[in-house]
Chain A
Amino acid sequence: MADQTAHTVKSFDDDINQLRSLVSQMGGLCEAQIGDAVDALMDRDPEAAMAVVDTDTRIDALEADAERLAVTMIALRAPMASDLREIISALKISAVLERIGDYAKNIAKRASTLTATAPIEPVVIIPQMSRVVVEMIRDALDAFVDRDAEKAVAVCQRDATVDDFYNSLFRSLLTFMMENPHHITPSAHLLFIAKNLERIGDHATNVAEMVYFSATGEHFAGRTKTDDTAYAV
């Protein structure tokens, strides 16, 4: 799929490239936002956390641009086949990235709140977890840029790692909260942060599935969720 020949009408290619560029920019911003939010958490830096919250509007604005462009292209160019799939995928991916941005923003808000509580030890797992989800987003977006279905499949397979991190953190936080009621507030925030990262992993997987669809015309089937905390007692 990477060897797309040019359209006879060249401005169509310009539009597609612009849409792809908007989605890539959103992806890059999302990666940065997650990284910055987690840094703010680890550095216990409320100002850095609030900067992440403020930056989220840029992702929202890019999503609005991508949506406008995609709708215009559908209306004016009547895209077909691989073009249609790519535009629809870009539209859906941009909505997912916007949601990922919201999760990053929520992590930053909680990071800011956590600066007012005593540090707790299980937080050290968060940077490792966030590295995995950031890589998943990066690779999903690379797969989008390269129209590479195989790379997209590889992203989907990595979601299990994120789920494992979350399962393990969930269990240690339960123990932690039972040990000392003073740990409940920071642990609850930390649990939400981990849940946000886990959801980001799911969304990155969705992006990869859309890339797979765009590249192949087939729906990707074959992922089973490994987050089993919903059944924990």
Chain B
Amino acid sequence: MDAQTVTPTGSNTGTVTTKMTARDVSVFYGPKQALKSVSIDVSQENVTAFIGPSGCGKSTFLRCLNRMNDTVASARVEGEIKLDGTDIYKGDMDVVQLRARVGMVFQKPNPFPKSIYDNVAYGPSIHGLARNKAEMDGIVEGSLRRAGLWDEAKDRLHDSGTAMSGGQQQRLCIARAIAVDPEVILMDEPCSALDPIATAKIEELIDELRGRYAIVIVTHNMQQAARVSQKTAFFHLGTMVEYGDTKTIFTNPTEPRTKDYITGRYG
């Protein structure tokens, strides 16, 4: 058996640009420490997956990346998180602007109770990204196309977003997130409420969006992390145990705790 290096398709090759950096990030909910000194670099070119059991801190950490934890009164964040070298927790950071640059897609599809068109147009209109109706039409079409939803939505743009199927609603939420032309997209369990076909469509979409946006995805589904990401971080009890190339994490992880978790021996 000759030793050989196998490069699976979809693996990262070429140069990697760091988009976000986190250094010694700790999060407390009241007196309880939910995240312990996590340091990680998120690259522009790769999809980064966070995996780990419930309560391990992966969603908490994800929510630090666009300051969603600010909305939790008891939450306190320590450490440093930078987007393109700028500390996002420094006083002069405009949080609304930050969340336009670092968009988010949630577990449960949550379209506004508005038309499909208005769902996508909402962000660009409050951020003043379109000067007229024609420009807005262009943004809406472009976003729906990139979200793989245009063909299904183009004849019903003024139907309610909530009337779509779950998978379509989730792609609508992705279209809504990319309508404001973000740089980073955070996805918190984006497929856990979807059937396998809708899940596959989201995964294909993630692959198509890769490179254009830095993508970070939290998932309980390890096969999904293995399929869509190039980098995987394993969290356990508030610490980041291991972070590395996805193909290494799933074939030959370094840490025993990672191995026990991904092989189903945890606990």
Contact = CB atoms under 8 A, between A and B. Distances in A.
Interface of A: 4-9, 12, 78-85, 206, 209-210, 213, 217-221
B263 A81 contact: yes
A8 B252 contact: no
A79 B264 CA distance: 9
B199 to A, nearest CB: 15
Nearest to A9: B264
B263 A7 contact: yes
Contacts of B264: 7-9, 12, 80, 83
Given A5-B260, A7-B265, A81 B1 contact: no
A12 B266 CA distance: 14
Given A78-B223, A217-B251, A217-B252, A83 B3 contact: no
Given A210-B1, A219-B1, A85 B266 contact: no
A209 B250 contact: no
A8 B4 CA distance: 33
A85 B251 contact: yes
A81 B266 contact: no
A79 B3 CA distance: 22
Given A5-B260, A78-B223, 6 more contacts: A7-B263, A8-B264, A81-B263, A84-B251, A85-B251, A220-B1
From A82, A218, A219, A220, name the one whose CB has the most chain B CB atoms within 10 angstroms.
A82
Contacts of A85: 251-252
A168 B17 CA distance: 60
A213 B1 contact: yes
From B1, B250, B259, name the one whose CB has the most chain A CB atoms within 10 angstroms.
B1
B14 interface: no
B130 interface: no
A82 B1 contact: no
Interface of B: 1-4, 222-223, 226, 250-253, 258-260, 262-267
Contacts of A12: 264
Q: Main SS of the interface on chain B?
A: loop
A93 to B, nearest CB: 11
A157 B264 CA distance: 35
Contacts of B265: 4-8
B244 to A, nearest CB: 12
Contacts of A83: 263-264
What 8 A-B pairs are tightest by C-beta distance, nearest first? A217-B252, A219-B3, A80-B262, A209-B1, A83-B263, A221-B3, A5-B265, A7-B264
Contacts of A78: 223
A80 B224 CA distance: 13
A5 B256 CA distance: 11
A172 B149 CA distance: 77
A83 B263 CA distance: 7
Nearest to B252: A217
Contacts of B3: 219-221
A36 B253 CA distance: 43
Contacts of B2: 219
Contacts of A9: 264
22 contacts: A5-B265, A6-B265, A7-B265, A8-B264, A8-B265, A8-B267, A78-B223, A80-B222, A80-B226, A80-B251, A80-B262, A80-B264, A81-B251, A81-B258, A81-B262, A81-B263, A84-B251, A217-B252, A219-B3, A220-B1, A220-B3, A221-B3
Contacts of B267: 8
Contacts of B262: 80-81
A4 B263 CA distance: 11
Contacts of A6: 265
A80 B250 contact: yes
A150 B265 CA distance: 25
Contact of B252 (A79, A81, A206, A221): A81
A4 B256 CA distance: 10
B259 A82 contact: yes
Contact of A8 (B1, B258, B266): B266
A9 B263 CA distance: 10
A6 B263 CA distance: 10
Nearest to B267: A8
A7 B222 CA distance: 16
Contacts of A218: 252
Nearest to B2: A219
B223 A81 contact: no
